[in-house]
Structure 1
């Protein structure tokens, strides 16, 4: 399976992606754990352009092109080969983040979907949306002080709009996107995700 974890900044996606990969490995599956933007060498180079620097560094349209360039490289060099050899792929973010973030930043969802169809053409088999209060998630995200805080620096109102966007996507794609309450300790959230499988 190809599984993506989605949610606002600080919702616990990275932690839960690692935990899910460990759970699947313990069940005897070969697993490729990855992230977006990034995952392949070229995509990691593009990641630095996207997540570092001033919040207004790029327009929504430029961000969209950069995200799709990173995703295409990631797909060609890591995701497709892993799936072809029979691995489960678990990714911390995929195209749903682009759909939500770029629309929230003022981009066109139609353009996002058209580029995705043209250049990517793949959706995960399952997407787990980790939902939580934006204020708490933002506090967590900023506390990391990772240097990759460009989107967190856009503030609470931005995170609230992102959350609404993700919840709307979950309603739009109920067969693929499942929502998990992220307002609990990491073990409880991991158990909720495991129950979905």
Structure 2
């Protein structure tokens, strides 16, 4: 049996991580086989790479170095957790995956989407998510949420300019237009309860169809 690979994407402060946790809890309550994971990270080695990438003191990191580190972490995460879980029929809920690299490094870092896609398809051997949820929010609102959330992890991405975050959002919209079958947009400016409900309705439909 092959499982489902559902990724959660969006700009900073969109609330996707909180929503993912709630969806995970609900699927567990329904008795579904479900795994919750994240990128960069998700395995011991990948988490160590995450620490290097997101360390706010690593201001001198080259953009291509950053892109390669994300791809390396993704590869390790894939072979250790994602592929084995899919082979065992699990539903995988992953906080970020390849789309994040395309928008953050490909567009916002100006490396080029095709260049970043190549190294990531090499890392994943062409594996893509079954479905992707894109949590859309104005960067100003997302960053305001982060500023109000004192317990949130502070990382290098929080130091970027507002223009950078607008490029990220626009790039996600472009990806959604190109791949409407896989990417489903959720208005993350709504209340948390509304966002969770819309996400749950979508995920429930996808998982029920797969049964």
**Distance (Å, rounded) in 2 between the aligned partners of 1:125 and 1:24:** 17
Residues 1:25 and 2:28 are matched in the alignment: yes
Residues 1:114 and 2:118 are matched in the alignment: yes
Deviations 1:108-165 (A, max 9, x none): 2111111122221211101000001110101222433544321121022111111001
Which of 15, 20, 26 does residue 18 from structure 2 map onto? 15
What are the equivalent positions in structure 2 for 1:70-149 lying under 5 Å apart?
A: 70-103=73-106, 104-120=108-124, 121-145=126-150, 146-149=152-155
The TM-score normalised by the length of structure 2 is 0.89
Q: CA RMSD in A?
A: 1.4
SS in 1 for 2:156: coil
The TM-score normalised by the length of structure 1 is 0.95
The unaligned stretches of length 5 or more in structure 2 are 206-211
Contact 1:6 1:92 (C-alpha < 8 Å) held by counterparts: yes
Deviations 1:65-95 (A, max 9, x none): 1001100000011111111111110011000
Residues 1:51 and 2:54 are matched in the alignment: yes
4+ residue runs over 6 A deviation: none
**Distance (Å, rounded) in 1 between the aligned partners of 2:201 and 2:153:** 34
Q: Judging changes above 3 Å, is the alpha-carbon distance between structure 1 residues 118 and 154 closer, same or farther for their aligned structure 2 residues?
A: same
Contact 1:55 1:153 (C-alpha < 8 Å) held by counterparts: no
